A = this chain, B = another copy of it.
Amino acid sequence: MRLEGVLPPIPTPFADHRVDEAAMRANVARWMGTRVRGVVVLGSNGEAPLLDEDESDAAIAAARDAVPADRLCLAGTGRESTVAAVRAAKRAAALGADAVLVRTPACFRTLLTAPALTDHYRAVADAAPVPVILYNFTALTGVTLPVESVARLAEHPNVVGMKESGSDLRFVSALIDSTPDDFAVMAGSAPVFFASLLVGAAGGILALASAVPDLCVELYDRVRAGRLDEARALQRRLTPLAGLVTSTHGVPGLKAALSLLGYAAGDPRPPLRPVGPDAVDDIRRALAELARPDGRVGSLRGR
């Protein structure tokens, strides 16, 4: 499994308070019509913490159904306890996930020292039948997986990469500088996708890529082709929508964007609430802006 390129962490559609498996399959099928490398089901954008174990299994199975063998179907299986994280990883593998994305625990954060986190991930990596991808999302969890821990975990044969959701490029760079070349650091913050690729990220797992998958792949391709001014210009165009569907409105914003685009996204699960009409308008405008031809963004400064 080569982890690189662009993967959307896809939302989980609900119907009648249950996971809507048919909608999940239909959405994934549509993403499979784009150039993304695969999908991540049950990342934080999949409202994973709001699903029970049976629902999690259903969501993973439905997504896997719609991802062909030559694309990646990654499954988020982070849990608060090590034993639950091990079980979830095993179940996801049995359901066909190509790899598991394991978010740090968040509870008891003051007790989640570097050794505690390292032991947690080692236990999961030892037990998981598929490769493990570390996942740090400090803004959500209040926990930071230390660079030194990542460096040590990267030596485990079953730990193949990491998703870092923050936009601190110093931290992203440190992760890359401290791990072997074949350890894939995946950007998790779309507004710094361009910068992350430049410092050595292998790709991106970006909420934004659920909404505009091919534009994200285009950005990636431009960087790989060395067309940096064009890549930077595209980044600049994408950033406003990226903000709306992540930091500003979160999962509810992403679901609103997908609904506008014709996906079966539905509402988030309570206590999350749908965004209001003003937010929908902002998102609609940002989507419309992106539909204009690339050329309207003038040349960039300096370089």
**Contacting A302 at CB < 8 Å: which of B202, B232, B252?**
B202
Asked if B191 and A170 sit within 8 Å, CB to CB, the answer is yes
Considering the chains assembled together, what is the distance between the CA atoms of A235 and B269 in angstroms? 42
- Within the oligomer, what is the number of copies of this chain? 4
Q: Tell which of A45-53, A67-75, A150-158 binds the partner.
A: A45-53
Say whether chain A's binding surface is mostly helix, strand, loop, or mixed: helix
Q: What residues of chain B lie closer than 8 Å to A80, measured between beta carbons?
A: 49-50
Q: Nearest B residue to A87 by beta-carbon distance?
A: B52
By size class, the interface of chain A is: 35 or more
Q: Decide: A195 near B191, CB < 8 A? Known: A108-B272, A115-B273, A273-B116.
A: no
Considering the chains assembled together, what is the distance between the CA atoms of A177 and B297 in angstroms? 11
A81 within 8 A of B: yes
Considering the chains assembled together, what is the distance between the CA atoms of A111 and B169 in angstroms? 24
Q: Decide: A198 near B228, CB < 8 A? Known: A52-B84, A142-B142, A173-B192.
A: yes
Q: What residues of chain B lie closer than 8 Å to A191, measured between beta carbons?
A: 169-170, 173-174
Q: Which of A43-86 contact B (CB under 8 A)?
A: 44, 49-53, 80-84
Q: What residues of chain B lie closer than 8 Å to A113, measured between beta carbons?
A: 273
Q: Tell which of A23-31, A117-125, A205-213 binds the partner.
A: A117-125
A200 within 8 A of B: yes
A105 within 8 A of B: yes
Q: What residues of chain B lie closer than 8 Å to A247, measured between beta carbons?
A: 110
**Contacting A300 at CB < 8 Å: which of B52, B81, B200, B228?**
B200
Asked if B49 and A52 sit within 8 Å, CB to CB, the answer is no
Asked if A270 and B195 sit within 8 Å, CB to CB, the answer is no
Q: Decide: A271 near B302, CB < 8 A? Known: A170-B192, A199-B194.
A: no
**Contacting A195 at CB < 8 Å: which of B140, B198, B224?**
B198
A-B contact pairs, 10 of them (CB 8 A): A17-B83, A82-B271, A83-B270, A107-B140, A115-B273, A117-B271, A173-B236, A177-B236, A197-B303, A198-B303
Given contacts A111-B272, A119-B270, A194-B198, 7 further A-B contacts (CB under 8 A): A49-B81, A51-B81, A82-B271, A83-B269, A174-B191, A181-B300, A199-B235
Chain A interface residues (CB < 8 Å from chain B): 17, 44, 49-53, 80-84, 105-113, 115-117, 119-120, 123, 139-140, 142, 167-171, 173-174, 176-177, 181, 189, 191-192, 194-195, 197-200, 202, 223-224, 228, 232, 235-236, 239, 247, 250-252, 269-273, 300-303
